[in-house]
Structure 1
Amino acid sequence: MEAMAKIFVFLLLCCFCAAGNASYQPCKLSDLDVTQAVMPGPVVGGYREYAVALTNGCVCSQINLKLACPGFNPSVRVYPAGVLSMDREGKLCTLTLNGSAIGIGPENTVMFSYSSRSQISFKPVSSTIVCSDASAPAPAPESS
C-alpha cells in the first residue's frame, strides 16, 4: 500500500511539472541578434551604405520574421532586392527568404545591405519558431 501511495504522489508531481511547463517556448525574440555597420566607401548623393547581419541564437529555426523598421520606406534600396518587404501600415518589415527559415547559429547569419541618408533601426517584433516537433509563434516581447 505504501508503494502505491509513493507511485501516486510521483505521478501527481509529474502532472504538476508538465502543466507548469506547458507554456515553455524554446525561443525568445532576444535570441535574434541584429547588428549593423556602415560600409566603407564614398557617400553618394548623401546616401551611405549600411550592412545588416541577423543571427539566430535559438535552438530552433525561425521564419516569418517581422521587424520594426522606423524610417524604412519602399524608396530605400536594399540588396539583395526583395529581402525586405514593408507592411501596408508602413510600420513593420518582413524578412523575405523565399520561404526559407533563419537557421541556427552564426554560420546561418542572414545578411543584407541598404542605402539611406541615415541608419535605420531593425528590431525583431515577431517570428514563427520551427522546431522538429512543432511550429509555434515566438512569444511577444516582455514589457519593461
Structure 2
Amino acid sequence: MEAKLVVILAACILLSLSNKGHAQPCSPSDLLVNHTTMPGKVGGRPHYLVTVENRCVCTQLGVKLACAGFSSTVTVEPAGVVTPNMDNTLCTLYGGQPMHANETVLFAYASRTKISFRPVSSFLDCSIAPALAPQAAP
C-alpha cells in the first residue's frame, strides 16, 4: 500500500511540474504588428496599413494595443476595427472579438505620426478554435 501511495504522489508531482510551463501558452507578445507606409498622402497626411497577426496557438480576445495620441484624418478602414479608449492611450482591436490562431486583422489610417500599436493585453481562450474541416472516415 505504501509503495502505491509513493507512486501516486510521484505521478502527481511530475504532472504538476510538466504543466507548470504550459499554464499560459501565449501572451500579447504573440500578436505581431506590422506597419507599412502607403504611397501618397490621404487628407494631407501619410497613410499607413497595419496588420496584426495572432501567432498564438490559442484564441486571443479583448486585445488592447498601446495607441497614445492616435487620431486619423480619415475614417479608419474597416470602420470599428480599432477603437481608442476614453483617454486615448489604449485601443481595443476588432471590438474585443476573438482573434483565432494565425488570424490577421488589417486596418488603414492616416496621421501626422506613425503609431506603434504595441500589444498590451489580451485574454486567452484555448478552447475556442476555428472550425475544422470534417475528416473522411478510413
Write the mapping of 1:1-144 to structure 2, written as runs, cut at 5 A. Answer: 4-5=2-3, 7-20=4-17, 21=19, 24-40=23-39, 42-73=40-71, 77-97=75-95, 100-105=97-102, 108-132=103-127
Determine what percentage of the aligned residue pairs are the same residue. 45
* Separation of aligned partners in 1, 2:124 and 2:107: 22
Q: Which amino acid aligns with 2:37?
A: V
CA separation in 1, counterparts of 2:72 and 2:10? 55
Deviation digits for residues 6-63 of structure 1 (CA, Å, limit 9, x no counterpart) = x3223212322344435711211211111111012x2245401101011111111111
Q: Write the distance in 2 (CA, Å) between the matches of 1:92 and 1:86.
A: 6
Q: Is the 8 A contact 1:51 1:113 kept in 2?
A: yes
Residue 131 of structure 1 aligns with an amino acid whose one-letter code is C
Tell me the distance in 2 between the aligned counterparts of 1:72 and 1:119: 9
- Displacement, 1:75? 5.6
> What are structure 1's unaligned runs of at least 5 residues?
134-144
TM-score (norm 1): 0.75
**Alignment length, in residue pairs?**
126
1:74–1:86 Cα contact (<8 Å) kept: no
1:86–1:74 Cα change, 3 Å: farther
Q: Normalising by the residue count of structure 2, what TM-score does the alignment of the two structures yield?
A: 0.78
**Runs of 4 or more above 6 Å deviation:** none
Provide the residue aligned with 1:136 in structure 2: none
Deviations 1:59-101 (A, max 9, x none): 111111001112203766311111111112221100124x641
Aligned to 2:76, the other structure's residue is in SS state strand
Alpha-carbon RMSD across the aligned residues, in angstroms, is 2.3
Q: Give the drift of 1:115.
A: 0.6
Distance 2:7 2:55 in 1: 35
